[in-house]
Amino acid sequence: MTNEQLTDAAEVAAELRAVAADIFADAAGRLTDTVARPLDAQVWATLESTGLARLTGSESSGGSDAGWLEAAAVLGEAASAGVPLPLLEHDLLAGWLRDAADLPVPASAEAGTGSPADAAGAAPSISTAAEAVGTGRPVTVPWLPAAASVVVLDSSGERPQVYEMAASDLVFDERSSVTGEPQAVAVLPTGVAGAVEVSEELADEFRHRGALGRAVQMAGAAEAISRLCVEHVTTRVQFGRPIGRFQAVQQLVTDVASEAALTRTIVDRAVLTVAEHGMQDARSRFVIAAAKACAGGAAETIVRNAHQIHGAIGTTLEHSLQRRTRPVMGWRREFGSTAEWEARIEGQVLDQGADLWELITA
């Protein structure tokens, strides 16, 4: 991307962020006080009608030809509002993987067969994505109970392959994630006839895309948590004064704000680097690893301090804090743990001979 193109994309991202914030504010008002976080079919229909559900897809496949700057703006706003949506899985993973492998869009995905119906009786057409890492090995597939189809990266053989199948053709054990979102454990078929062979680089990009998407979500949620903490300590009165006047509480809030700001800085740098240089660039891979590791490390302090600040009220289903902290703790483990991404950085420098200083300062 040229500087002019980056500027244009950033302006579009800012506009999309404002639109998405309005949509998700309405959706947040409909959230129920339950542990489960099911799909809001009404907001998903709105995202589809406005083109936000499939931002990064090519126009020929029904997308908007947007990039990571625009997608991250919408993804982060959803996480900030605490609204559970399969934006990462549907657009940045399943849709991208389908396009990259040049797979046709199945009729089930177009019609939404097998997915839950909204109030008007229409079913949202959602695709999710997963990686089959071995023959007969069960894997957790996010949003599978709400999806029409699943795009599978089959890494069990000598060469990775990609195929898509209807969710209704899978036998799976439905359950909720730590965040309360629907997911399922399933044994994905391997060595499927007609699967499209792809490169190892593309398979590795799938994992990096997932990691960056989760980091974007964690950054959005972390900022919302920080705002909730500031609001709470300025309005909650104890011993005749706001609890924010107490030094111990001030330190807790400062740590939350600092970690949230650190996470936002490295995540924004990762998104910008990918937008500018592409996902295959060594600088992009390095900063994605740093972003996921940083976000995961910050999550522990942010969540612990936020619940200390709020006390028991922050754990209640009526309070919006747990709608952000539960997802953060779940996302930090997905698409690679903090330790795994730290090890990737180490391997990139020690095993692959990358110049660490050059990666940091480039």
Q: Identify the residue with better confidence: 336 or 178.
A: 336
Q: How far apart are CA 72 and CA 92, in angstroms?
A: 10
Give the C-alpha separation, 300 to 184, whole Å: 26
Indicate left, alpha or beta for 303 from its phi (over 0: left) and psi (-120 to 50: alpha): alpha
pLDDT of 62 higher than 80: no
The pLDDT of residue 120 is 39
Where are the domain boundaries for CATH 1.20.140.10 in the chain? Answer: 200-361
Pick from 109-113, 298-302, 329-333: least confident: 109-113
Across 53-67, average pLDDT: 87
5 versus 248: which is more confidently predicted? 248
- Fold (CATH) for 200-361: Butyryl-CoA Dehydrogenase, subunit A; domain 3 (1.20.140)
Q: What does the pLDDT look like over 166-204, one tens digit per residue? A: 999 999 999 988 888 999 999 999 999 999 999 999 999
Query: In whole angstroms, what is the distance from residue 323 CA to residue 224 CA?
Result: 10
Better-scored residue on pLDDT, 64 or 138: 138
Q: In the chain, list all ranges with CATH 1.10.540.10.
A: 3-197
pLDDT tier for residue 106 given thresholds of 50, 70 and 90: low
Listed residue (16, 25, 101, 78) closest to 51, CA to CA: 16
Q: What is the pLDDT of residues 117-176, one digit of tens each?
A: 443 334 468 999 999 999 999 999 999 999 999 999 999 999 999 999 999 999 999 998
Q: Is the pLDDT of residue 354 over 90?
A: no
Q: What Rg do the C-alpha atoms of the chain give, in angstroms?
A: 20
State the pLDDT at residue 107: 57
- The string of DSSP letters for 196-250 reads EE--HHHHHHHHHHHHHHHHHHHHHHHHHHHHHHHHHHHH-EETTEEGGGSHHHH
Query: Hey, is 166 helix, strand or coil?
Result: strand
| CATH code given to domain 3-197 | 1.10.540.10
Answer whether residue 109 shows pLDDT above 50.
Answer: no
Burial (Cβ within 10 Å: 0-12, 13-18, ≥19) of residue 45: middle
Q: What are the backbone dihedrals phi and psi of residue 86, each rounded to the nearest 5 degrees, phi first?
A: -85, 45
**pTM for this entry:** 0.92
Return the pLDDT at 86: 97
Lowest-confidence region among 24-28, 67-71, 77-81:
24-28
Nearest to 120 by CA among 204, 42, 194: 42
Mean pLDDT for the chain overall: 90
